[in-house]
Every structure is written in C-alpha cells, then in structure tokens.
Structure 1
C-alpha cells in the first residue's frame, strides 16, 4: 500500500476517536491541516487518482476528499468542493467490489459521500448500501438513523439548510423554521 494512504488510514481508523471524526474541534482540524493539507491538494489535482486501483488506497482518497475537506475548510464553501469527486471515487470503489475487501468500520466512509449529497437519489442509494453491507454490523442502527435523517432533510428541502449560510444561499421561510426547531447541527454535511 502507498505510504501516504497508509498514514491517512492509520490516522483515521487507529489514532482518531469517533468524537473527533464527527465533532467540531479546532484543535483536531488543525491536526488534519498540519498533517494532510498537502495530500488533499494533490488529491484535488488528480495526483492520487492511481489510488483507485486498490481498495484501501481508494478508501484513503475518499477520506481525503469527503472527510478531511470538512475539517480543512470548516465554515467555507471549499468544504464541499470535492463532494462530486468523492462520490465518483465511492462509486468506483463499489463497482470494483471493494466493499467486499474492507471492514465494516471502513465501509461507512465509502457510503458517506452519498449521505453528504444534496441529491435525493444519492440519499436513497446510501440507505440501500447501509442495508446491504451493514445490516449485521453493530453500527447498523446508528448508520441507518443518520442516513434517514439526511434523507428526510433532502426529501423535505432539496438541500441541507445548514449549508445555506456557508454557501451564500438564502433560507426559505420553511428552512428558517426548521433551523430554529432542530437540535441537529449538520452544517458539516
């Protein structure tokens, strides 16, 4: 395996807690910036596209594009700039059968680019992937819960209202009411 891909995977799956992965922590964001900004910049310039040919390296590329981007560019539109590419890489991983080669804990990160999408078809696909691959895994109920939450937001609004401010979009009246009433802060999704 490529050394940089291994470093990314070790950091994400061995050295990082769930709270850090899904939290909002400036210290953790800085750690990602200090250690992985160069990798992210290479990935967006297609310099890591050869990672598509290996399941673990492909997963590392998805983590760079879909997860680290949110830490590197929190509260900035660039946090979402590589979402389409992350979905393309995730589709490639699924098409190549990489889901059969990765652990269940790793698989959710293949599926998250679809959960982060503002397209309803991607939300539906994410739910199906979770049902197919994680049905018997300990994280199934939690993954299914968050998949449904994301799906329901897109189904209702056609976008994630928490992204509106960062992306310079105006909230509709319905979105304003939703943002006042919800306890989920999904600005990162």
Structure 2
C-alpha cells in the first residue's frame, strides 16, 4: 500500500522553528553578543519581515508553547538589536519581549528549554531600564542557570548601571536622549566595560 503523500507545507518548518534553528544551531554562541556587520545583514535579510510582523502584532499565535515564545523573544529582543543596530527601533519591541518573557517564566516554559537557549527568556529583563526587572534577571540566572557565570556577571553589570543611572546611557544617542554630565563622564571612563571588569575583580 502506498503511503499518502505528505504536502510540502506539512514538511516545511514553521517560522518559529526557523528562528530557533538559525539562532541556536547555525549561529555560534560567541556571535550572539558581538557587533558583526555580516551577521546583522544576514538577520536583516532573513528575518526582517518577522520583526515587521511582530511590530504589527501578527505573531501572537507563537505564544502558546515554550518554543514559540522563545522564538518570539529572540525576534523582538535579539534580532531587533541586529536589524536596527544604533537605531531607536532596536528597542521598539522591548516591552512586548518583556511581557512574553514574564508569561513564559510564570508558566515555567523556560525550564523546558535547555541552556544555553534558556538564557534568552531572561535577557528581556536584563535589557529593562527597571530595577525590579534587573533584580529578577539576576535571581533567575542564579536559580535557573547557576553554571552560566558569564551570564550572571553581565546581569549584575546591567543591574549596576540601572542602580546608578536608572537607564542605560549607551542607548542615549539612538533614543535621542540628552546625556547628563555624570553619564558622559561614566562613558568616557569605560562605561559598561569598566563595570564588568570591576565586578570581575571583586568576585
């Protein structure tokens, strides 16, 4: 007996699956947090329309299970920063990313994703200019990814910046914000990198 044909549509991975396959399998972890013009261009070409759909509120159907929620967060929180580097639109969907991250964490969906992919549920909180979110990000890395020392270091560094300024001064230019004298001095003295090095030395 001949098996019924499988349609091409049924075989094709979903958009959410394409996001996860690219970011977690094709891209190397060392590329996640560095500025790379080639990677930015690749993400812009392959996933720019997905960011557009998220901005239009058209990806809500992804938010019913862990993998879909993770893919949504990667598009709105990670790909946004590649697609719109040094542009205010890099942060345009941060609120949506945080809301989905909090939903996923409350449902324990993050626990269903093995590290290192799990960290992307926590990064929208680490990117928040709200100290409560920052405290929660640090706590989540401590409790749910205890072996990810580098992630914890950067979560603590982000929290230190928000404690001091209530915002991230290195976003000011992109967002059209006036940089204060205190922020200017901080940036001139090494800014975020200096905070990371100080925390490393103190540990």
For normalisation by structure 1, the TM-score amounts to 0.92
Bigger-Rg structure (1/2):
2
- For residue 31 of structure 2, what is the aligned residue in structure 1? 20
TM-score (norm 2): 0.86
| 8 A contact 1:118–1:159 mirrored in 2 | yes
Structure 2 SS opposite 1:22:
coil
Match of 1:171, SS?
coil
RMSD: 1.6
Tell me the CA shift for residue 7 of structure 1.
Answer: 0.7
Q: Quote how far apart the aligned CAs of 1:2 are.
A: 6.0
Runs of 4+ aligned structure 1 residues displaced above 2 Å come to none
* Pick aligned residue for 1:180 from 179, 184, 188: 188
Q: Tell me what 1:49 maps to.
A: 60
Gap regions ≥5 residues in structure 1: none
Deviation at 1:106, TM superposition (A): 1.3
Higher relative contact order (CA 8 A, sep 6+): 1
For residues 170 and 19 of structure 1, the distance between their equivalents in structure 2, rounded to whole angstroms, comes to 33
Aligned to 2:150: 142
1:76 aligns with 2:87: yes
Equivalent in the alignment of 1:103: 114
* Contact 2:161-2:192 at 8 Å conserved across structures: no
Runs of 5+ unmatched residues, structure 2: 1-11, 194-203
CA drift at 1:56:
0.6
Distance in 2 between the 1:96 and 1:18 partners? 26
1:160 aligns with 2:164: no
Q: Distance in 1 between matches of 2:61 and 2:108?
A: 17
The 5 Å alignment of 1:124-143 reads 124-135=135-146, 137=147, 140-143=148-151
What is the total number of aligned residue pairs between the two structures?
Answer: 183
1:97 aligns to what SS in structure 2? coil
1:24-43 equivalence runs, <5 A: 24-43=35-54
Q: 2:177 aligns with which of 157, 161, 169?
A: 169
Partners in 2 of 1:93 and 1:75 — Cα distance? 28
CA–CA distance in structure 2, aligned partners of residues 95 and 52 of structure 1: 13
